Amino acid sequence: MLVGANLLRRLLRSQLSADDGGTGFIITAIHHLRPHYSTTTEVSDEGNSEKKKESKWFTLPPFAKTVNASELGAKLARKNHLKSATSAETSAYETTALKWVLKCCPELPRNLVQKLFRLRQVRRESIAVEVTDDGCQVQKIQLKRVGAKDSLNIGDKIFLPISVREVPEEKHGHDCADEESNFIRSLELYKDTAIIVLNKPPGMPVQGGIGIKWSLDELAAAWLRFDYSESPRLVHRLDRDCSGILVMGRTQMSAAILHSVFREETLGASKHDSDNEKRVLQKRYWALVIGSPRRPKGTISAPLRKVVVDNGKSDRITVFEHNNTILSSQRAITEYRVIKTSTHGNIIVTLVSKSNFGIAYALMLSDLNAGFTWLELSPLTGRKHQLRVHCAEVLGTPIVGDYKYGWQAHRRLQNLAESDLRKNSNEKVAKENMLPFGLNMDSGSISEKHLRLHLHCREMILPNVSQVLRKPKSFTDDDLSKLRSLEIVAPLPSYMQKSWDILNS
> Are residues 266 and 282 located together in one domain of the fold?
no
Whether residue 146 contacts residue 97, with contact meaning beta carbons closer than 8 Å, is answered with yes
Q: What is the mean pLDDT of the chain?
A: 76
Give mean pLDDT, residues 300-320. 85
pLDDT per position as a tens digit, 441-499 = 889 999 888 899 999 999 999 999 998 888 766 666 666 667 788 999 999 999 999 99
Mean pLDDT of the region 293-305: 93
Q: Decide which of 387, 419, 451 is a domain's last residue.
A: 419
- Please tell me the least confidently modeled range out of 267-276, 311-320, 377-386: 267-276
65 within a domain of the structure (yes/no): no
Condensed to tens digits (0 to 9), the pLDDT of residues 394-404 reads 999 999 999 99
How many residues make up the chain in this entry? 505
* CA atoms of 52 and 418, how far apart (whole Å): 78
pLDDT at 392 over 70: yes
Catalytic residues: 239
Q: Is the pLDDT of residue 18 over 80?
A: no
Looking at the structure, do residues 247 and 335 belong to the same domain, yes or no? no
Is the pTM of the predicted complex or chain greater than 0.75?
no
Q: Is residue 240 part of a domain?
A: yes
Query: Do both 130 and 144 map to the same domain?
Result: yes
If asked whether residues 307 and 321 sit together in one domain, one would say yes
276 burial via Cβ count (<10 Å: 0-12, 13-18, 19+): exposed
Judgement on whether residues 291 and 248 belong to the same structural domain of the protein:
no
* Parallel/antiparallel/unpaired status of strands 455-463 and 282-290: antiparallel
User: For the domain that residue 189 is a member of, what is the CATH number?
Assistant: 3.30.70.580
Q: Judge if 309 and 414 occupy the same domain.
A: yes
Helix 5-16 to helix 24-37 angle (10° resolution) is 150
* Same-domain pairing of 318 and 401: yes
CATH of the domain at 414: 3.30.2350.10
Both 321 and 385 in a single domain? Answer: yes
408 and 296 in one domain? yes
Q: Is 262 left (phi over 0), alpha (psi -120 to 50) or beta?
A: alpha
Residue at a domain's end among 386, 419, 452: 419
> Which segments within 114-232 are labelled E, that is strand?
123-131, 137-145, 158-161, 188-191, 195-200
**pLDDT of 116 over the 80 cut:** yes
Asked if residue 367 is part of any domain, the answer here is yes
Residue 242 lies in a domain: yes
Domain end, chosen from 118, 148, 166, is at: 166
Residue pair 216/224 in contact by the 8 Å Cβ criterion: no
Do 397 and 283 lie in a common domain? yes
Q: How many structural domains are present in the chain?
A: 3
Residue 107 has pLDDT above 50, yes or no: yes
Structural domain that includes position 472: 174-275+465-483+492-504
Q: How far apart are CA 440 and CA 18, in angstroms?
A: 97
Same domain, 110 and 199: no
pLDDT of residue 398: 96
